[in-house]
Structure 1
């Protein structure tokens, strides 16, 4: 294992990485007290190469690594990469590594669980129990001990060894394309968007009139901006409950704000509170200009709940029969959409999902398929054949 602390060392090893077909990659970061994750280590294993890059080393330039991450001839193998990719998205100037492969998604296609952990995956595939002693290490502290470095590099050395096994099993089962389709989700830039004016979208408004939505938008936007500006978690600025209460009460003065249950006492007269009030007052002066367009969710038609529950049973039966995690095939939202419409624009009615599940779901919905219990297993059969027998 080689610890990289200089740009020269990084450039040299990236020359070797550029010759690899795939690299296993992971990061260690801290974000308990910050809005932006603080990148502390980058671990990479590929072929005989095993390195840890110290991004906190003085004057190190990560440009040689960025070139590797952008090289589409090299596959980047992660396990549950959502947060890793968020970090790279920022340091790479709002671009993402491509192509990527998520072993957690692949594990679902192999029937190893819905959200199998890294140590669970390695134990299942390699029979190795990963030491998690240093899981809660403060990775920003220097120097790091040899034991901490050994722990960190193990997150990619085993991943490097497990990846070929995963690929072989997926090919044997004919499920490689299933997993590759899912990778498009991780490389969608919208997933990592932190634009403050889009912050309201991660919350679910409770009302949809113009003034409520204008205040809701203003409060959510201000909180996101302030949290980014001060580099503190959004929840330490204001809780989600405060955003909803502000949208409901629409305070216009420090005194009115300080009377609210979800607002910390004294916040209304603080610099942050005054800035928030300024944003709210501006929004309330012309709510039509500030209110984002949002439609109230339509209530599900009568009887959809029971159909959805029946589809859940079908999904479980299909997933158990194929040895696939149900979440890879369909979500509850997918099932509700199918229950409402045969032509729903949902992944479960497209591609390989439609082939293994969607068609069965539609036939069950229209009484062409039946579910029965035989022994300890739910079985699926065409209803006419079942009656004839």
Structure 2
């Protein structure tokens, strides 16, 4: 095989070249391999800065999305075809933003998980199943860079040029393992899932926030996070590149009484920590004086950590432990990760609040409410029902004996 780094790749940047590519892709045969490169860690937005496609009898196409704009014409001719992606959930949002929205996918990463392949990164799976070494040294690059280096383009092209062959190899393995139907249900679930999650109080994801004590300090942390987020969005820069989380937490903990002392705070670092000192000081003053004080812990449907269940809900703790072992054994029988058989969150929720009647039908119905696919319900409902019934009949240890 020729060294792909020696090949020159042209990025499609004009509408004219884009429309010619649409015709070529439409004339190709079979599934369409698709990948997208973002600039995570460099830019605020999660937009695609390069979209790669490959189709047999058509070739490889590298598109510059900011230059091309919308891809509606391309979507019109390929939306009904099968698209092959690796870890589709990572790319679908940015593809949809530019008008690319498939109705059928084959996710090689997800399929590899269902087959029980231990490591499912694209390079590893390609090497294991196709015998081709796929270098991944540019995976964390700043793809908003212009012009893109040829070595990066070669890397990006190879990602899709091997995907269709990989899809065919994995599809055969799924068929041999009797998992084709399972995989199809999982692919359909990825397409149906809302991938853009709107989080309540996103500032609570600030790394280290749990170490902050005091309502005013927590309010300052919130205002600092909001101020940084607004600036990052305005500049289209990753927030951590302006001021890291650790610096915001240090400032919130110290709650300096003056702007001068904030500027003198050694732990308050980052490229915008001093150039935007007025912004950060205003955030701290708002946190210090606001009447809109945050609650210590965000409300919502978050369950307590399982380690505390023996104290907070001993019956649920017994149910969870019994069912978890049964699910683990079934996952081993099916040769797949336990989280693909049934997500830990789903199992915890049904263990915390099970149906009144414990039988296969009620458990299956509750699993469906929680988003479990038909194959997951068929594989786990009876096990969970039996485990819960057994747990109900078992004596619940007292908190004293549990400790």
Q: Which runs of 5+ in 1 are unaligned?
A: 370-389
Spell out, residue by residue over 1:190-221, the C-alpha distance to the aligned partner (whole angstroms, 9 max, x if none): 24x6x9x9531534853798645543332221
1:10 and 2:18 aligned: yes
Q: Secondary structure at the match of 1:44?
A: strand
| Counterpart mapping for 1:147-226 below 5 A | 149-167=153-171, 169-170=173-174, 172-173=178-179, 174-184=181-191, 188-191=194-197, 199-203=202-206, 206=210, 211=216, 214-226=219-231
Could you tell me which residue of structure 2 aligns to residue 276 of structure 1? 280
Call closer, same or farther: CA 1:341–1:261 in 2, change over 3 Å.
farther
1:323 and 2:327 aligned: no
Could you tell me which residue of structure 2 aligns to residue 120 of structure 1? 124
- Structure-2 separation of matches of 1:40 and 1:265: 26
- Structure-2 separation of matches of 1:349 and 1:30: 33
- Structure-1 separation of matches of 2:262 and 2:148: 46
Deviation at 1:329, TM superposition (A): 1.9
Could you tell me which residue of structure 1 aligns to residue 361 of structure 2? none
1:98 and 2:110 aligned: no
Could you tell me which residue of structure 2 aligns to residue 353 of structure 1? 376
- More off after superposition, 30-39 vs 276-285: 30-39
Could you tell me which residue of structure 2 aligns to residue 364 of structure 1? 387
Spell out, residue by residue over 1:204-240, the C-alpha distance to the aligned partner (whole angstroms, 9 max, x if none): 8537986455433322211212222233332232332
Call closer, same or farther: CA 1:178–1:250 in 2, change over 3 Å.
farther
Deviation at 1:323, TM superposition (A): 1.8
Residue number among 44, 51, 54 corresponding to 1:42 in the alignment:
51
Spell out, residue by residue over 1:294-317, the C-alpha distance to the aligned partner (whole angstroms, 9 max, x if none): 228664432456654554433331
Deviation at 1:104, TM superposition (A): 1.0
- Structure-1 separation of matches of 2:254 and 2:22: 56
Could you tell me which residue of structure 2 aligns to residue 378 of structure 1? none
- Structure-2 separation of matches of 1:315 and 1:348: 17
Could you tell me which residue of structure 2 aligns to residue 301 of structure 1? 309
Could you tell me which residue of structure 2 aligns to residue 52 of structure 1? 61
Q: Which runs of 5+ in 2 are unaligned?
A: 1-6, 356-365, 393-403
Aligned residues between the structures: 355
Deviation at 1:260, TM superposition (A): 5.2
Spell out, residue by residue over 1:97-125, the C-alpha distance to the aligned partner (whole angstroms, 9 max, x if none): 33344221122222223x50112322344
